[in-house]
Structure formats: structure tokens, C-alpha cells
Amino acid sequence: MKAFILPLFACVMLASGASVAAESPVTNAAGKGEQATISPFRHTLPDLYDFSQIPVEQMGTGITRQTIHNGQSTMAKWVFAKGAVVPLHHHVNEQITWITAGSVEVFSQGKRFVVKAGQVIVFPPNVPHEFHSLEDGTIDIDIFTPQRQDWIDGTASYIKPAS
């Protein structure tokens, strides 16, 4: 179980701006050093990212985005000014949205949701949705599966980097 909790914890900590360092050997509860358990299913080391080192894309008035693409997923950090809008769109990806600061109004399937700091909203694949930022400095962390190929190849039509 530990093998799955640590990567998620590290991802959440990095998204919140904390730093995570890998250490070996691991100290157990008795204070004795022991080698970390390596899963037989892991063939490579984890990737470590620092949002302070990831390029910031200006995506339109009052919207910036930073992205991390891996083989199976995409993670995005959005920062919104009050009144910024991500227009109605849908995609083949499941989307998990975690508002870590501020708040947004989300419109989907004829319903309105207000999502505040600390709350998460999940969109199944192909479900139309749109975001309106209610506060300056709203931070939205999104995780998409599979990865956002339309962002990678630049074919997303609903929102594009400003020129």
C-alpha cells in the first residue's frame, strides 16, 4: 500500500509548492534503517517536477497554465484572475479538478456548481463544461487521463496560448 500512497502524496505536495526529497535507506518505526521496497512492476524511477521551473503559458485574458505530460496522464496548474473564463468544451479525457485557492463557477449539463478552495469536481470523458473564475488568484489543479494529446499537438480549439 505504501508504494501507491507516496507518489500521490508527492504529487499533491509538489502541486501545493512543497518540496519532496527521496531518501534511502528508509528508517522504520524502530529506528532501524532498511532498504525501500521496490515494486517488481516499476521499471523506471519516478519523475520529479517543480512548478517553479515549468514554463508559464498565457492562455488569454487573466489565465495562465503550466503542464506536465506523462505517458498516461496530464497535470495542469491554472491561475485565474477574477472574471476569467474557460469556454464551454469537452474532451475524451476524464478530468479531476482540485481548486486549491479561490473559487470558480462551473457550468455543465445545465447545472451550476460553485467549487471553492479545497474542493474537487470530476468530469467523466466527453462531458461539456465551462469555468468562470470568481476570485483573483484562483488556482486550479487538473489531472487528465489519458494525457491531453490535443494540448501536446496544439489542436485544442477552445483555448490556445496567447500569441
For the chain, list the domains and their CATH numbers.
Answer: 2-34 (no CATH), 51-152 (2.60.120.10)
pTM metric for this prediction: 0.73
Burial class (CB within 10 angstroms; exposed 0-12, middle 13-18, buried 19+) of 145: middle
Coil/strand/helix, residue 149: helix
Q: What is the pLDDT of residues 106-122, one digit of tens each?
A: 999 999 999 999 999 99
Q: What is the pLDDT of residues 38-73, one digit of tens each?
A: 556 656 788 899 999 999 999 989 999 999 999 899
Q: What is the pLDDT of residues 69-85, one digit of tens each?
A: 998 999 999 999 999 99
Q: What DSSP state is assigned to residue 69?
A: E
Q: What is the pLDDT of residue 21?
A: 46
